[in-house]
């Protein structure tokens, strides 16, 4: 079976990854079952400079899980020079690995498409007073 690119169905402008997560073959049933738990875990990770979790900030581009429970997360940062560039992906992988049913986690940081404030959820915009 050929690996599926990790392109969110609602974000066709997000290109498929060519690194760690590109080898993950999405299992629809596993992804459907585990993605809400993975998102919940990722939602406990905060950019140290912004008081909003990275999921609501729109930094998570895709989450998939293969049949063996390996989770792939494609994420970005608010800027290439982000001071948390080394720590956030490690923290995301750690939180995802702790989700029951996940056997391993692979996290790719991608820069295309670039993150903009438009990717933030309404919740994040409210929390940051951007309405």
Domains of the chain: 20-125 (3.30.300.130)
User: Can you spell out the DSSP letters for 65-130?
Assistant: E-TTSEEEEEE--SSTT-TTTTHHHHHHHHHHHTSTT--EEEEEE--SSPP-GGGS-HHHHHHTT-
55 in helix, strand or coil? coil
| pTM (global) more than 0.85 | no
Q: What is the mean pLDDT of each run of 10 residues along the chain (131 residues)?
A: 35 46 94 98 94 96 98 94 91 98 97 94 93 69
Q: Give yes or no for a cis peptide into 113 (omega within 30° of 0).
A: yes
pLDDT of residue 20: 79
User: 116 is written with which tokens?
Assistant: 């903009």
């Amino acid at each position: 079976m050929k690996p599926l690119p990790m392109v969110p169905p609602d974000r066709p402008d997000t290109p498929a990854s060519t690194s760690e997560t590109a080898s993950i073959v999405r299992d629809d049933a596993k992804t459907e079952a585990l993605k809400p738990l993975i998102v919940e875990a990722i939602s406990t990770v905060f950019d140290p400079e912004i008081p909003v979790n990275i999921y609501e900030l729109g930094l998570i581009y895709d989450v998939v899980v293969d049949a063996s429970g390996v989770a792939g997360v494609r994420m970005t940062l608010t800027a290439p020079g982000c001071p948390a560039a080394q720590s956030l992906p490690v923290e995301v992988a750690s939180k995802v690995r702790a989700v029951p049913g996940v056997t391993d986690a692979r996290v790719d940081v991608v820069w295309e498409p670039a993150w903009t404030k438009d990717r933030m959820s309404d919740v994040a915009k409210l929390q940051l007073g951007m309405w």
